[in-house]
Chain A
Amino acid sequence: MNAKITRKLRQASQITFFALFMVLFVQAVYLGASPLESDLFYRLDPLIAATAMLAGRTVIAGLLYALINLAAAFVFGRVWCGWVCPMGSVLDWVSPKKVRHGREISGRWRTVKYLAFAVLIAAAGLGNQTGVITDPISILTRTMTTAIWPALRAMVFGLEGFLYQFDFLWPALDVIHANVLLPLFQGIESVFSAAIPIFLMFSVIIALNWAAERFWCRYLCPLGGMLGIFSRRAILRREVSDACTDCGLCARECPTGTIDKAKGYASDPAECIYCYDCAADCPVSAISFPAHAPLRLAQKQAYDPARRDVLWSVAGAVAGVSLLEVETITRREPERMIRPPGATLTDFTKLCMRCGECVRVCPTQGLQPSLLEGGLQNILTPRLVPRLGQCSFTCSACIEVCPTGAIPPITLEEKQHTAIGLASIDQDRCLAWGYDTICSVCEEICPLAEKAIRQEEREVKDLDGNTFTIKLPYVLRELCIGCGACEYHCPAGGEAAIQVKTLPSTEVVIRGI
């Protein structure tokens, strides 16, 4: 096939997959209304599959689609990176006009992505998943969820709010609001404490493009490293024929900078992303991608990780995981580290990929990516912040969307009976207890049929000495599921006077008597 057409196909593929990513992202919140799986890209991600199954010590059937991706790497090399990965496409599109090729950056940096992969696998073997926050799909999902999409919403709604000042525009604006803005943004009004740090991480990755094209993909991406390892045995590999006139165009064009003039414009199949830029632009059509014998190992490169490098990485992973064991959370769960529903039933931190899907779909946006509330080891894992949004009683969105089962597939009815925390009242700040004020918000709002919050009546006197009856709320521990509806709606200013905290331990262990 003509290389120019193939390049066009590659460009079309990138646009298509990015569009698919965005469609899945938008429709993820339409639970049950779409046949598409919103976690499709995660299912195709072998890094997620490998680390989740290793750390969770389990086989997750839904993640076995990733084998398709690995099989593709055996045939086409890192075609995922060049044709599919939406993060890679963003890096292609958001790059400086005057591309820098990174010749001044040592080729040894390419080793980093392989070692990053080794570290993640070793850590996963030890049951730690902290480093998986560097998976490219999760970076893009997380940034889109917490920063880009909400900021876009704020921008659009800000403009809308301005236009709504003009009464005559209302009929037109109503149509746009109902048919465009609501379907796109739903009723979700996002706020995230982690939005800015997450956006900064993404910005740094984009900014590195100014140091070298696709800097992230070349040097850092652990998924790129993983696919690179498999691509070293790829069947289709780039070749340069004798027709080459030594013009050097391909070496200048290559987005991963793997074409080496010194080696007769040869490239490393573990670095090539099959973008076809070189072949399409070669003035003498000297470049092709013929089939080689399967499983034949590519030529060794100076930056291929040596056995010693890998061992050091494993040692580094062991040291890192050990260091994280020193964090206080390993002894005492913080009182405000409330996990999504059902998470108490699983080995949550081992299975959770920090992928952000649950955060994306949470209709109240009470689920937040944590920063350091649960220690560095739990960074970007979801936690419920009831003051920002309750766990909606009739919603099981996070349960349905979790790709690894860290939030287990329990039914809505089971969810409604699974405690994730326990509410407690600060009587000094409660309007009823502390200030003799009539307020029944928490009792009213409690979604449980039996009401986990009940009230006792008490006679009190006002300033004039008249007696009146107020109702004082109290929590029934046996019923409360910790959804946080009371905390969210509590009219106390700032922090709520009723707060959900980590579940009390149910067993009392007496040792050494």
Chain B
Amino acid sequence: MSKKKEINRREFLRKVSMAGAGLYLAGCSRQSPVMLPTPIASAKTATAAPGGPQTEIQNSAETTPAYGDVYLSVVRGEDPAAMTMRAIAAIGGIEQFVKNGADVIVKPNICTDYYPYEYGATTNPQVVAAIVQLCLGAGAKRVRVMDNPFSGTALSAYKRSGIEEAVIAAGGEMEVMNNNKFRKNEIPDGLDIREWIFYQDILDADTVINVPIAKQHGTTRLTLGCKNLMGTILNRGQIHANIHQRIADLTSRVRPALTVVDGIRTLMQGGPTGGNLDDVKMSNTIIASADVVAADSQAATLFDLTGTDIGYIPAAAAMRLGTMDLNAIKIEEFSL
């Protein structure tokens, strides 16, 4: 029971940084400030920067990535692992998010055991494995990878997706989500739902890394980072009643430190479960940001949409969980 009432470190830091950032921004911004979950990232709080877009398109062969001040990175290429590493390096490196001795949970999308990852319904195993490697390299004590598939068992879906094999080879653990570890938690900032049953380990972990695959979805149009967090809760069916706001509410509670969107094989239709290779487009893109809303808005462009088209993105932005204004943030793009 103590778990509910304690203010954990993250919440403490968030509150402190919120206050600090609020004071800082009070004088210099017309736009609502965005509060990011990690203390490092919160220093880079997005505001509408004067002088318009800061997007820089760089060629990796000529430029070394500028660490630390990039808000969101987009990497295109052929090698998912290298792209993932580059994308994370560009926004400041994994050390920004994973401290020595940290307990890290990586949350990919392993929605069903229907098809292997080539069908674009589950996150690319190499992307997940690369993140596991980075975390361990940064001194993480433990890196667990988990999802709660909605069809088929976790064991079969982990295998089928190829993620289990890749993660274990990279030195991480696959955890089958244990029913005993789901607990009712308050959502203090929730607008529609004020409490829900979450996987307690995900709320308690030092770092949560959200690794959605970008794909079409019948109800929400696209499954992206915020939507991927539906895998951290029970009673998913009831989320559908007011799905966009509720996803935003969940996001406000889980607050992943880092979101890496797998846009390598994008499922353009037939989502979320897929099954037809003709629906899969090779978009060969990895997007990384500490801001899940920004990452989702960027990922929507892979489908020729914008953040405003996907209901939960504006809902999350309105809750100041991130920014959907891609012109207001510093984006770096690379090709490998």
Contact = CB atoms under 8 A, between A and B. Distances in A.
B137 interface: no
Interface string B135-156: 0000000000000001111111
Interface in B266-299: 270, 272-276
Interface in B43-68: none
Contacts of B2: 167
B3 interface: yes
Contact of B151 (A438, A445, A450, A451): A445
B151 A187 contact: no
B219 A440 contact: yes
A485 B270 CA distance: 16
A449 B180 contact: no
B155 A167 contact: no
Contact of B218 (A394, A443, A485, A491): A443
Given A363-B156, A449-B270, A441 B237 contact: yes
Contacts of B237: 441, 491
B301 interface: no
B113 interface: yes
Contacts of A439: 240
A182 interface: yes
A274 to B, nearest CB: 43
A178 interface: yes
B113 A394 contact: yes
A188 B153 CA distance: 8
B114 interface: yes
A450 B276 contact: yes
Interface string A469-491: 00100000000000001000101
B156 A392 contact: yes
Interface in B203-229: 217-219
Interface residues on B, range: 20 to 34
A445 B273 contact: yes
Contact of A178 (B3, B175, B217, B275): B175
A400 B156 CA distance: 16
A501 interface: no
Nearest to A164: B180
A324 B151 CA distance: 39
A173 B150 CA distance: 25
B176 A392 contact: no
A186 interface: yes
Nearest to B119: A449
Contacts of A438: 219, 240
Given A394-B160, A447-B112, A187 B154 contact: yes
A109 interface: no
B228 to A, nearest CB: 15
Contacts, number: 82
A466 to B, nearest CB: 16
B181 interface: yes
A393 B149 CA distance: 14
Interface in A180-205: 182, 186-188
A182 B177 CA distance: 11
A151 interface: no
Nearest to A162: B180
B27 to A, nearest CB: 42
A161 interface: yes
A15 interface: no
A101 B112 CA distance: 57
Nearest to B276: A449
Most buried by A among B2, B115, B153, B217: B153
A160 B180 contact: yes
Most buried by A among B2, B3, B113: B113
The DSSP consensus for interface residues of chain B is: loop
A160 B178 CA distance: 11
Nearest to A451: B270
A303 interface: no
A471 B276 CA distance: 22
Contact of B178 (A177, A443, A448): A177
Nearest to B218: A440
Contacts of B240: 438-439, 441, 491
Contacts of A164: 178, 180-181
Contacts of B150: 445, 489
Most buried by B among A173, A440, A489: A440
Contacts of B3: 167
A188 B155 CA distance: 10
A456 to B, nearest CB: 13
A439 B238 CA distance: 11
Nearest to B272: A444
Contact of A448 (B176, B219, B275): B275
B170 to A, nearest CB: 18
Contact of A187 (B153, B160, B276): B153
A413 to B, nearest CB: 13
Most buried by A among B3, B114, B115, B176: B114
B273 A186 contact: no
Interface in B155-187: 155-156, 160, 175-176, 178-181
A447 B114 contact: yes
A453 B234 CA distance: 25
B11 to A, nearest CB: 17
Contacts of B180: 160-161, 164, 173, 177
A333 interface: no
Nearest to A395: B156
Contacts of A173: 180
Contacts of A312: none
A485 B3 CA distance: 36
Contact of A449 (B113, B154, B156, B275): B275
B155 A187 contact: yes
Nearest to A444: B218
Interface in A150-182: 160-161, 164, 167, 170, 173-174, 177-178, 182
Contacts of B152: 363, 392-395
Interface in A389-436: 390, 392-395
A186 B113 contact: no
Contact of A444 (B113, B115, B154, B273): B273
Contact of A447 (B151, B153, B154, B219): B151
A446 interface: yes
Given A161-B179, A363-B152, A444-B273, 18 more contacts: A164-B181, A177-B180, A178-B176, A182-B176, A187-B154, A188-B153, A393-B151, A394-B114, A395-B152, A440-B218, A443-B218, A444-B219, A447-B112, A447-B151, A449-B274, A455-B218, A489-B150, A491-B240
Q: Please list the 10 inter-chain residue pairs (A to B) with the smallest Cβ-Cβ separation, ordered nearest first.
A: A449-B275, A164-B180, A187-B153, A449-B276, A440-B218, A447-B114, A491-B237, A161-B180, A440-B219, A394-B113
Interface of A: 160-161, 164, 167, 170, 173-174, 177-178, 182, 186-188, 363, 390, 392-395, 438-441, 443-451, 455, 471, 485, 489, 491
Interface of B: 2-3, 112-115, 150-156, 160, 175-176, 178-181, 217-219, 237, 240, 270, 272-276
19 contacts: A170-B181, A187-B154, A187-B155, A188-B153, A393-B114, A394-B152, A394-B156, A438-B219, A439-B240, A440-B218, A440-B219, A443-B218, A444-B272, A444-B273, A445-B273, A447-B114, A455-B218, A489-B151, A491-B237
